[in-house]
Amino acid sequence: MSGKTKLYYFDGRGKMESIRWLLAAAGVEFEEEFLETREQYEKLLQGGSLLFQQVPMVEIDGMRMVQTRAILSYIAAKYNLYGKDLKERALIDMYVGGTEDLMGFILVFPFLSAEDKEKQHALIVQKATSRYFPVYEKVLKDHGQDFLVGNNFSWADVHLLEAILMVEEKKSDVLSGFPQLQAFKARISSIPTIKKFLEPGSQRKPVPDDKYVETVRRVLRMYYDIKAN
């Protein structure tokens, strides 16, 4: 196991993308091994690296970690992106949970049928503008601070920016009614580590395409269509 953090996943976003975002926000360099064949995946399974027989898997600090939330929590705590006390950590967990729920509607999108994609697109925009974004708009307006929790940059800010950009890929003007979030997006995007991650040539992955979907289906032997939310 090398000293540098190493990620095992597909060459695409999926559940690993939030891990890439958080590592990048913390200024941590990482390597990636992309799963392209069923044989690679089975080798990890046979070697006992995938505790619950699934990826993402991350090698960090001498550990092989699975379960996305556990990985993210560890990274956030290690790099001081998890609040200064238990109360702040609880708020970060709540806000991250909300953005995860929103992202869940988007993560399944590439795997849907054409008919379901049309319905899901409308659902994503509706959920973002009526359930999730109003919460963060109010939080930022009420406390008048630059960040979501404790006026310090945290995992919650990273996760929210990722979610905002994902929804904007579905509807570019989705923040038109949310001035606080517009300012938040500009502010967080200008943080040096985030700015670097948003630049061309970074390890940020593009919108999933048909090649990514086909690879995931082949490696995981997904012989069915995912249903829309």
Q: Choose among 96, 213, 194: nearest CA to 149.
A: 96
CB distance 181 to 175 below 8 Å: yes
Low-confidence ranges of the chain (pLDDT < 70): 1-2, 223-229
The pLDDT score that the predictor gives to residue 222 is 82
Q: How far apart are CA 18 and CA 28, in angstroms?
A: 14
* Summary mean pLDDT of the chain: 95
- Decide whether 6-79+199-220 matches 86-190 in CATH topology: no
Q: How far apart are CA 170 and CA 151, in angstroms?
A: 30
Q: What kind of fold does domain 86-190 have according to CATH?
A: Glutathione S-transferase Yfyf (Class Pi); Chain A, domain 2 (1.20.1050)
Domain coordinates of the chain in residue numbers? 6-79+199-220, 86-190
The pLDDT score that the predictor gives to residue 3 is 80
Q: Does domain 6-79+199-220 have CATH number 3.40.30.10?
A: yes
- 150-185 in b/e form (b: 16+ CB < 10 A) is beebbbbbbbbbbbbebbeebeeebbeebebbeebb
